[in-house]
A and B are shown apart, each in its own frame.
Chain A
């Protein structure tokens, strides 16, 4: 038995799951918008604007969800400043939850600046273009960081599934990129056909990478993978692998069968990305502290 089965659940549930989902979309959307700002064309501007808008509101919602999840929400600032030595900063580079709090704050600042700049219809004012690109570069890195650190945070615990594999950070980051691209195709109605084609092409590639990383993640669990032999395994297989990866891939490669609702690949990717966070969080949470009353804990 893995040593992780002797630990207690932190009960991270219905605030943290949407936070992981929204944070992933926000980070992925900003990263793609930043790439388009650097290497794209004027026709990409509607998608850039939407990307920064998604990132800004995503950062706000993420911060709110994280705060509501705290046992003492009014003490959220204790993560940023030393409460007993204010205004000294509170930062632990070796604690994912500590540097994650700072990353969300700084990502939110970059998203706000970029979103404000991108609202100019003809692009940023003269002289501001370079500054906008620099902010986009920094924010893009923070974006990928926000999308991926949540998985790293889970790996840096002692809980079953989360701590039994070092691949969760990669999985969440790739999923953040694919859901970010999917959200951009859904929420950018003014986007040009060529931008949408690029987004769909990138999303298909990201889904393939996600499938590979998911397989590696499951394989890396070793004997702990048996926890999937149950309800959460079914959700993983049907909800994440089929609905969120394989079906949208099929729709991408056979656009003739794509359409609305379940035939919309972007919506399916978003659903799959949400379910990925649900199964990863709840499957581990459902494993209670190992009981020893019957003497059945022996044998290792």
Chain B
């Protein structure tokens, strides 16, 4: 059994070249948006806009400018987090979403029936339907490449090693050293997101080094499993059903008593 594999993305050295997006599209033969007629987002150099069924990598451009000469760019290559406790895998009603021997999360397109429950369940907004396939799709962490000992296409193409691929144990050690290095250099905001196996979702097999709050990067502070509401929601629904059943029975009882009081017509069914 291979060790859990994943990505460590150091956002401080991402230059927004989008080589990862291109490599991902190329290797996975993903179609273009809108048949190749691409509208510009109009508010950023980011024209991919978001992860989707045909964009499994998305380089976010976060512009923090208070004035024309006072600001910074944050760039982050976003991808499926391959959660150790994955919400998509939890809700999938067809068994299409599986955990692989590399501890990654993969959607089997030939099993998925496009119900889209996984889209609503993902706390990161990663999954979407690929209109060409009619099924939900997302990053597979290049499962086909991993099986033959190759590195995923995106990390292979990354020219700055912002996206690093390896065993989770090794990546966590490397990431911790990088945080210490940045903090020693004065970047006190440097922190890891998703590296803690005791943290939300049991840790993420694609984790990040950030230099601001997670929300700034469009990441939830405390991602959770969709099943967190299941017990309470089910209990409240059952309780309201019991109240209604009781009201209905009391109404029937009252009707019967009224009939008896009024002389009693007919007989009990």
Interface residue ranges, A against B (CB under 8 Å):
1, 3, 6-12, 31-32, 35-37, 39-44, 69-73, 75-76, 78-79, 82-84, 90, 92, 94-98, 101, 123, 144, 148-149, 151-153, 155-159, 162-163, 166-170, 172-174, 177, 194, 197-198, 201-202, 205-206, 209, 213, 289-295, 297-300
New A-B pairs, 11, CB < 8 Å, besides A78-B111, A173-B241, A289-B50: A7-B120, A10-B116, A41-B269, A71-B116, A71-B129, A71-B134, A75-B94, A152-B230, A157-B117, A158-B122, A293-B61
Pair B135/A71 contact, Cβ less than 8 Å: yes
- Asked if B112 lies at the interface with its beta carbon under 8 angstroms from chain A, I say yes
Pair B117/A97 contact, Cβ less than 8 Å: yes
A6 to B193, CA, bound (A): 15
A173 to B232, CA, bound (A): 14
Pair B113/A156 contact, Cβ less than 8 Å: no
The bracket for how many chain B residues form the interface is: 35 or more
Cβ proximity bits B227-243 to A, threshold 8 Å, 1 near / 0 not:
10110111011111101
Pair A209/B240 contact, Cβ less than 8 Å: yes
Cβ proximity bits B16-27 to A, threshold 8 Å, 1 near / 0 not:
000000000000
- Asked if B70 lies at the interface with its beta carbon under 8 angstroms from chain A, I say no
Hey, which chain B residues are within 8 Å of A8, CB to CB?
50-51, 119-120, 122, 125-128
Given A41-B266, A79-B113, A173-B241, does the pair A297, B216 have CB atoms closer than 8 Å? yes
A44 to B248, CA, bound (A): 14
- Asked if B146 lies at the interface with its beta carbon under 8 angstroms from chain A, I say no
Pair A72/B112 contact, Cβ less than 8 Å: yes
Hey, which chain A residues are within 8 Å of B31, CB to CB?
none
Hey, which chain A residues are within 8 Å of B127, CB to CB?
8
Given A12-B116, A35-B245, A158-B121, does the pair A1, B94 have CB atoms closer than 8 Å? no
Most buried by A among B120, B133, B223, B229: B120
Pair B129/A144 contact, Cβ less than 8 Å: no
- Asked if B268 lies at the interface with its beta carbon under 8 angstroms from chain A, I say yes
A43 to B233, CA, bound (A): 37
A246 to B202, CA, bound (A): 47
Hey, which chain A residues are within 8 Å of B135, CB to CB?
71-72
Pair B120/A170 contact, Cβ less than 8 Å: no
Given A71-B113, A72-B135, A79-B94, does the pair A169, B233 have CB atoms closer than 8 Å? yes
Task: Give 10 closest A-B pairs by Cβ, nearest first.
Answer: A71-B114, A169-B237, A3-B220, A75-B113, A293-B44, A71-B134, A157-B120, A8-B125, A98-B93, A295-B64
A32 to B248, CA, bound (A): 8
Hey, which chain A residues are within 8 Å of B51, CB to CB?
8
Pair B233/A166 contact, Cβ less than 8 Å: yes
- Could you list some 19 contacts between A and B, CB below 8 A? A3-B221, A3-B223, A8-B127, A8-B128, A78-B94, A83-B111, A90-B93, A92-B92, A92-B93, A144-B245, A156-B91, A158-B224, A194-B255, A198-B255, A205-B251, A291-B49, A295-B64, A298-B215, A299-B213
